[in-house]
């Protein structure tokens, strides 16, 4: 059982990333599931989704939580009680959570893939990035922007928020490993800190 990365944002907020290398049987060891979660796991057709589901329960243990502490609201947003906040992500062989005692949080892990070039116009004004000549660098940048918007979408936690029209990400340099983002919707504007890192062809972005 291997925790891949632990990132401390503050005394109250941390990120945990798991690299899935275990078998299903190994991942079932050391955790307990509610009846509802056992049924959800049984209903999953894909083994990688089952492994992701179980590895997230191991990440919950890192912050002293169990499967029973986690529930979902009517929009599918994960919730905790007692003034605690969580966000969850799963992409291929990696899962992650961001946990906070402080404020709403969001996290996203994405595999860096060329297909993002084809959909970029749907989530960001692509002309902002026309100056990036290197294709790999452009894929990397757009994946960070997507992850940042996905993280803010998760914080907002309701439908109808549009990536292109309601979520704005301040431009950034790769070396900074951070930026800021705004949600502008229904006459309200909220700003968030955003940090990002890359590993093994994946990008992790988290917002708080």
- 3-102 CATH pick, 1.10.8.10, 3.90.1010.10, 3.90.470.20, 3.20.20.80: 3.90.470.20
pLDDT for 1: 62
- Calpha distance 58→55 (Å, rounded): 5
Evaluate whether 92 touches 135 at the Cβ level (below 8 Å): no
pLDDT for 129: 82
pLDDT for 3: 96
Q: Domain 108-207 in CATH: superfamily? A: 4'-phosphopantetheinyl transferase domain (3.90.470.20)
- Calpha distance 101→82 (Å, rounded): 9
Is 84 exposed, middle or buried (CB count within 10 Å of its CB: 0-12, 13-18, 19+)?
Answer: middle
pLDDT tens-digit series, residues 46-78? 999 999 999 999 999 999 999 999 999 999 999
pLDDT tens-digit series, residues 113-156? 999 999 999 999 888 887 888 999 999 999 999 999 999 999 99
């Amino acid at each position: 059982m291997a925790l891949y990365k632990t990132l401390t944002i503050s005394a109250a907020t941390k990120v945990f990333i798991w690299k899935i290398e275990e078998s299903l049987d190994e991942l079932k060891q050391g955790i307990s599931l509610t009846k509802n979660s056992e049924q959800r796991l049984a209903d999953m057709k894909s083994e990688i989704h089952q492994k992701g589901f179980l590895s997230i329960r191991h990440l919950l243990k890192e912050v002293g939580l169990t499967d029973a502490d986690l529930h979902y609201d009517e929009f599918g947003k994960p919730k905790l009680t007692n003034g605690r906040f969580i966000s969850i992500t799963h992409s291929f062989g990696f899962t992650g959570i961001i946990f906070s005692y402080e404020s709403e949080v969001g996290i996203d892990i994405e595999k860096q893939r060329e297909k993002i070039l084809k959909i970029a116009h749907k989530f960001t004004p692509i002309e902002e990035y026309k100056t990036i000549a290197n294709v790999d660098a452009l894929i990397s940048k757009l994946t960070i922007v997507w992850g940042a918007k996905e993280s803010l979408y998760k914080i907002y936690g309701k439908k109808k928020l549009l990536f292109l029209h309601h979520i704005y990400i301040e431009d950034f340099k790769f070396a900074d490993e951070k930026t800021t983002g705004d949600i502008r919707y229904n006459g309200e504007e909220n700003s968030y800190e955003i940090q990002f890192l890359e590993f093994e062809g994946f990008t992790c972005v988290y917002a708080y």
